[in-house]
């Protein structure tokens, strides 16, 4: 993959286009800011530390099924991100009283909140990122009701994951800031970085292990960030997530981005659809067995063919297993008794049916007129009455 033109430069990062549509090349800068950029200072090595820390955390969030913009780390200071449309809003979740929350309400830092509190800020340096509520969000059209609900739910999930992650290296997650955007499917997606710049972290002694070291002039942040990265690599990161200093071809990463959050949804839908399909096939199988049982049961029907003046009785019997083998040599056997009512029994070995036909010898009359009248009456009756299925049975009558 090739880095192309610069698209955007912010306080801590540069975003570049790439030769792969939908993918951005992100470079972390050696820069620290405070008071919304009013205080700015270049700190060598900070960009590499934040890039590696954020990459580790995003790997874990992707594994947990959170939909994020992160693809992979490509160097100490660079990573690949999916190109998403950012929502101009910052989301802050607070677990402990600290920072501006303590100042706003005149509270002392350090008290644990009974429940996490979510706050929203309109992202605008010119306005100094003012605090906003859900009605403001609706009025400004930042997101709709459903999207806001999704953002809040994802923020709570991320809080649970991050608290557990930071606890593994002995740190308490006091509060943190998130930013979201919408991916190419219009779905809410976590974006921006997650580092000690965006998280307020305290160790077991209450020592600041975050950007407050810079904000409050408590010392050098580089040793603090180095300790965090070292602990994450040793206690949190599986070996496969450690970036090796070896070049990788562009084929190492997919041409089309995947979205971990959606895969869980589609897996659940797939399971539900499989259950429905299996249930449907089970029903079809039961119906087929029922139909087979009905077919195998001997049945008899009788009817009269007006054209032959015959009474026909048909008995369906279950075909003999050998009927398929003898189908080519099947014959019809007919026996007739003359000068009286005769029974004709025909057996078709192919169909496995027995046909009994009773015929009556036509009465002889000496009057041609009577015969003609009878013929006309029969023809008229046949025309008026609906036709019944004709049973074609070959018979031989002797006088």
Convert the pLDDT of each residue in 210-234 to its tens digit. Answer: 999 999 999 999 999 999 999 999 9
Residues contacting 148, CB < 8 A, separation 6+: 134, 137
Cα–chain center distance at 153: 19
Place of tokens 């710049």: 197
- Boundaries of every domain in the chain: 3-244+258-269, 298-320+333-360
Tokens of residue 136, six digits? 């403001």
Are the CB atoms for 159 and 170 separated by under 8 Å? no
pLDDT tens per residue across span 380-393: 555 555 554 454 44
Place of tokens 């195998």: 296
Residues contacting 321, CB < 8 A, separation 6+: none
pLDDT tens per residue across span 293-302: 444 444 444 4
pLDDT classification of 237: cutoffs 50, 70, 90: confident
Count of Cβ atoms closer than 10 Å to residue 189 Cβ: 24
pLDDT tens per residue across span 158-171: 999 999 999 999 99
Are the CB atoms for 178 and 158 separated by under 8 Å? yes
In angstroms, rounded to a whole number, what is the distance separating the alpha carbons of residues 377 and 384?
11
Task: State the chain's mean pLDDT as an integer.
Answer: 76
The mean pLDDT value for 307-324 works out to 45
Q: In the predicted model, is pLDDT for residue 306 greater than 80?
A: no
DSSP line for 172-240: EEEEEEEEEEE-TTS-EEEES--STTTEEEE-TT--B-STHHHHTT-S-HHHHHHHHHHHHHHHT--GG
- Residue 140: which of 159, 160, 123 has the closest Cα? 123
Are the CB atoms for 388 and 303 separated by under 8 Å? yes
Are the CB atoms for 189 and 180 separated by under 8 Å? yes
The mean pLDDT value for 368-387 works out to 52
The β-bridge partners of 177 are 92
pLDDT tens per residue across span 107-145: 999 999 999 999 999 999 899 999 999 999 999 999 999
Higher-confidence position of 364 and 217:
217
- Residue 357: which of 348, 365, 366 has the closest Cα? 348
The mean pLDDT value for 80-91 works out to 98
3-244+258-269 classified as CATH 3.90.1150.10: no
pLDDT classification of 51: cutoffs 50, 70, 90: very high
In angstroms, rounded to a whole number, what is the distance separating the alpha carbons of residues 376 and 4?
99
Are the CB atoms for 296 and 318 separated by under 8 Å? yes
What is residue 388's DSSP assignment? P
Q: In the predicted model, is pLDDT for residue 257 greater than 60?
A: no
Say what percent of the chain tops pLDDT 90: 56
In angstroms, rounded to a whole number, what is the distance separating the alpha carbons of residues 225 and 223?
6
Cα–chain center distance at 54: 28
pLDDT classification of 33: cutoffs 50, 70, 90: confident
The mean pLDDT value for 344-351 works out to 42
- 58 dihedral zone (left: phi>0; alpha: psi -120 to 50; beta): alpha
In angstroms, rounded to a whole number, what is the distance separating the alpha carbons of residues 86 and 122?
12
What pLDDT does 40 receive?
86
In angstroms, rounded to a whole number, what is the distance separating the alpha carbons of residues 340 and 361?
7
Q: What is the dihedral of CA 379, 384, 389, 390, to 10 degrees?
A: 0
pLDDT tens per residue across span 59-75: 999 999 999 999 999 99
Residues contacting 287, CB < 8 A, separation 6+: none
Place of tokens 């029974």: 343
Lowest mean pLDDT among 95-104, 122-131, 227-236, 277-286: 277-286
Against a cut of 0.75, is the pTM above it? no
Place of tokens 């049916």: 353
What is residue 128's DSSP assignment? T
What pLDDT does 384 receive?
52
Where helices occur in the chain by DSSP H, the ranges are 46-63, 99-105, 134-140, 145-167, 212-215, 221-235, 260-296, 368-384
Helix (H/G/I), strand (E/B), else coil: 308 = coil
What pLDDT does 247 receive?
45
pLDDT classification of 44: cutoffs 50, 70, 90: very high
């Amino acid at each position: 993959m090739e880095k192309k033109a610069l698209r955007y430069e912010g306080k801590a990062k540069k975003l570049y286009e790439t030769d792969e549509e939908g993918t951005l090349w992100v470079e972390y800068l050696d820069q620290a800011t405070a008071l919304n950029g009013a205080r700015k200072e270049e700190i060598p090595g900070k960009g590499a530390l934040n890039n590696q820390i954020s990459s580790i955390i995003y790997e874990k969030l992707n594994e947990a099924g959170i939909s994020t913009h992160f693809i992979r780390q490509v160097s100490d200071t660079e990573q690949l991100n999916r190109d998403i449309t950012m929502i101009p809003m910052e989301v802050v979740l607070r677990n402990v009283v600290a920072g501006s929350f303590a100042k706003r309400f005149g509270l002392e830092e350090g008290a644990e909140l009974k429940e996490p509190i979510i706050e929203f800020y309109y992202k605008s340096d010119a306005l100094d990122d003012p605090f906003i509520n859900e009605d403001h969000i609706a009025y400004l059209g930042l997101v709709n009701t459903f999207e806001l609900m999704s953002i809040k739910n994802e923020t709570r999930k991320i809080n649970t994951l991050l608290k557990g992650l930071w606890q593994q290296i002995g740190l308490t997650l006091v509060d943190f800031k998130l930013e979201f955007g919408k991916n190419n499917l219009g779905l809410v997606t976590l974006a921006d970085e997650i580092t000690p710049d965006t998280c307020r972290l305290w160790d077991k002694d209450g020592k600041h292990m975050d950007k407050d070291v810079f904000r409050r002039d408590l010392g050098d942040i580089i040793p603090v960030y180095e300790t965090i990265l070292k602990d994450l690599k040793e206690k949190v990161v599986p070996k496969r997530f450690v970036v090796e200093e070896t070049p990788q071809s562009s084929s190492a990463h997919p041409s089309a981005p995947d979205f971990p959050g959606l895969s869980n949804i589609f897996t659940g839908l797939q399971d539900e659809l499989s259950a429905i399909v299996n249930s449907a096939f089970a029903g079809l199988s039961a119906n087929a067995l029922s139909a087979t049982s009905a077919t195998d049961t001997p049945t008899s029907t009788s009817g009269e063919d007006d054209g032959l003046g015959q009474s026909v009785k048909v008995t369906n019997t279950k075909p003999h297993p050998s009927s398929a083998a003898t189908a080519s040599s099947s014959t019809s056997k007919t026996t007739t008794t003359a000068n009286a009512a005769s029974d004709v029994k025909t057996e078709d070995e192919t169909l496995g049916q027995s046909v009994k036909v009773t015929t009556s010898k036509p009465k002889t009359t000496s009057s041609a007129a009577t015969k003609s009248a009878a013929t006309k009456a029969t023809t008229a009756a046949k025309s008026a009455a609906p036709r019944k299925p004709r049973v074609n049975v070959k018979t031989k009558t002797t006088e």
